[in-house]
């Protein structure tokens, strides 16, 4: 199996597949595997997935377990939503809510992959196209053709794999521009060093901040909706560009915005859900499948859930990836699309003004913790295939004939190296991988077909 893209989704997919006994090659276009320097919120459903991938303890080392989710009225400064993230929360959802640095979760997944003999990581290799052939797929890359039993497009916002399957072009600019910065804790105004993920909502803007890396840093993201949207992809933006756009906010959030000497500008992109992500032995995962606005802080969580679901389906279908991908899509489509649509609607709640703002505040203010938890239940409760992923030993399918079919449908191995996607049944890792000093896979992974 080849995975296009070594972001959070691609690495999680490789790791999940390895834990079910499947070999994969992750192709990353960048010269190095890495993530941007910013924060990320991880809800309980994301933690369940991270734990199932076996990297929970690593990610938790640097994560900050915040105490509340706050939505403040950016104009008046009053509290609108206050969700306690205490023991009741962790009991209800089986895991806490935490925030972390992207590099920390990406680095942990990368280490997890490096420790797996079944995962090969290739940086500096761009997927350009693919051809479906009789027994699999030929992945066309900047380094030449690569035959494989299947291809997963985890290649993000501008996915070339999606372009072949869905063909809906570049995702349109949403008109939502975000400005990011990371502050040292001592730069953060003292009265705003809250143990919370805080969102200041105001007319067509919102500002988010939360602590990072054991309270050494604060993540700051300020978003504005504008008709005249412009563009941007991690470009530098000076405070003179940013501050006037948020000037209708009250003093507290503005006092944070005045700290950074420079921001990074990002034009957010968004796609409408589509009904199909799959073409034979090729499918999509993460942002390439269901690109969403970040307003529920769930894009990465969805990519992680996708990864576990895909690997569980591959396992259930005994390596018949065409069947597995259809099953995966069927299982994931409604949930991921619901999050995609709900995130966009949440933006309208954040950016409300006039009477709508008054209605919003009236709806949410004064709710009990349990009412918030009930409202969040569909989102934060992990699906069964995530919750039970680690409990199910690989290859529990009661259909040996299907297993044989799956293995034989993989492409013939090239000389000296096993075909991607073929389980390493009864054979040790190839000399090429073994010579890199990776750990041998645990015995349970080397299953006989
Ligand atoms: C401002 C902001 C805040 C966010 N906050 C949160 C949050 O708090 N919580 C949360 O869960 N989510 C959040 N998200 C969403 C989250 O970042 C994404 O959903 C997630 O990173 C998607 O992962 P991915 O692996 O699908 O895609 P990506 O992370 O985009 O990875 C794709 C990878 O593929 C590579 N690639 C692309 N094309 C090719 C090619 N042709 N060949 C080879 N490699 C290729 C890229 O270089 C990249 O490494 C946020 C997003 C934004 C914009």
pLDDT in tens, 226-261: 866 566 678 899 999 999 999 999 999 999 999 999
Closest CA to 449 of 392, 410, 391: 410
Mean pLDDT of 123-140: 96
122 lines ligand 1 (CB under 6 A): no
- Nearest Cα residue to atom 2 of ligand 1: 294
Supply the pLDDT for residue 38.
Answer: 85
> Any idea which of 154-163, 255-264, 265-274 has the lowest mean pLDDT?
265-274
Rounded Cα distance between 103 and 105, Å, is 6
Determine the distance separating the centroid of ligand 1 and the alpha carbon of 437, expressed in angstroms. Answer: 29
Mean pLDDT of 281-293: 97
Determine the distance separating the centroid of ligand 1 and the alpha carbon of 153, expressed in angstroms. Answer: 12
- Nearest Cα residue to atom 34 of ligand 1: 5
Does residue 322 have a pLDDT over 60?
Answer: yes
Mean pLDDT score of the chain, rounded to an integer? 88
Does residue 426 have a pLDDT over 80?
Answer: no
Supply the pLDDT for residue 417.
Answer: 38
Of 194 and 442, the structure prediction assigns the larger pLDDT to 194
- Nearest Cα residue to atom 4 of ligand 1: 294
Supply the pLDDT for residue 430.
Answer: 32
Q: 430 vs 39, 120, 136, 395, CA distance in Å?
A: 38, 11, 21, 22
Mean pLDDT of 1-17: 98
8 lines ligand 1 (CB under 6 A): yes
Does residue 410 have a pLDDT over 70?
Answer: no
Determine the distance separating the centroid of ligand 1 and the alpha carbon of 419, expressed in angstroms. Answer: 27
Task: Name the E strands within 5-78.
Answer: 24-27, 39-42, 68-73
Span 43-66, pLDDT tens digits: 999 999 999 999 999 999 889 999
3-state secondary structure at position 15: helix
Give the pairing type, strands 233-237 and 217-225.
Answer: unpaired
Residue 127 CA: which ligand 1 atom is closest? 42
- The reported pTM is 0.89
Mean pLDDT of 295-320: 97
Rounded Cα distance between 70 and 356, Å, is 19
Q: What percent of the chain has pLDDT over 90?
A: 80
Does residue 37 have a pLDDT over 80?
Answer: no
Supply the pLDDT for residue 395.
Answer: 65
């Amino acid at each position: 199996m080849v995975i296009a893209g070594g972001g959070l989704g691609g690495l999680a997919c490789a790791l999940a597949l390895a834990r079910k006994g499947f070999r994969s090659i992750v192709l990353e276009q960048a010269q190095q595997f890495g993530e941007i320097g910013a924060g990320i919120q991880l809800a309980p459903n994301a933690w369940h997935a991270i734990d199932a991938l076996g990297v929970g303890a690593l990610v938790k080392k640097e994560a900050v377990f915040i105490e509340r989710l706050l939505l403040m009225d950016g104009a008046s400064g009053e509290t609108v939503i206050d969700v306690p993230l205490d023991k009741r929360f962790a009991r209800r959802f089986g895991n806490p809510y935490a925030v972390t640095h992207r590099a920390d979760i990406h680095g942990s997944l990368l280490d997890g992959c490096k420790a797996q003999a079944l995962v090969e990581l290739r940086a500096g290799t761009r997927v350009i196209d693919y051809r479906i052939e009789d027994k699999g797929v030929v992945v066309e890359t900047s380094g030449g053709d690569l035959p494989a039993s299947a291809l997963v497009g985890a290649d993000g916002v501008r996915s070339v794999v999606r372009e072949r399957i869905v063909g809906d072009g570049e995702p349109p600019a949403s008109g939502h521009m975000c400005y990011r910065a990371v502050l040292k804790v001592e730069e953060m105004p003292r009265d705003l060093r809250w143990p919370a993920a805080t969102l200041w909502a105001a007319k067509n803007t919102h500002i988010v901040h939360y602590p990072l890396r054991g309270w050494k840093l604060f993540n700051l993201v300020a978003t504005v909706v504008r008709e005249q949207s412009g563009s941007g992809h991690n470009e530098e933006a000076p405070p003179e560009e940013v501050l006037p756009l948020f000037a209708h906010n009250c003093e507290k959030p503005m006092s944070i915005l005045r700290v950074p000497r420079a921001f990074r500008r990002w034009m957010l992109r968004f796609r409408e859900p589509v009904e199909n992500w799959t073409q034979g032995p090729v499918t999509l995962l993460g942002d390439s499948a269901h690109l969403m606005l970040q307003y529920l802080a769930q894009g990465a969580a969805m990519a992680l859930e996708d990864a576990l679901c895909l690997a569980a389906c591959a396992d259930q279908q005994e390596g018949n990836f065409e069947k597995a991908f259809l099953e995966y899509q069927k299982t994931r489509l409604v949930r991921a699309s619901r999050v995609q649509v709900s995130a966009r609607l949440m933006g309208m709640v954040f950016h409300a003004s006039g009477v709508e703002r008054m209605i919003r505040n009236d709806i949410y203010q004064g709710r009990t913790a349990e009412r918030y938890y009930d409202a969040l239940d569909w989102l934060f409760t992990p699906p069964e295939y995530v919750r039970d992923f680690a409990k199910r030993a690989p290859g529990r399918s009661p259909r040996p004939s299907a297993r044989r079919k799956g293995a034989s449908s993989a492409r013939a191995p090239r000389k000296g190296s096993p075909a991607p996607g073929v389980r390493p049944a009864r054979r040790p890792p190839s000399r090429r991988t073994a010579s890199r000093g990776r750990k041998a896979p645990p015995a349970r992974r080397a299953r006989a077909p």
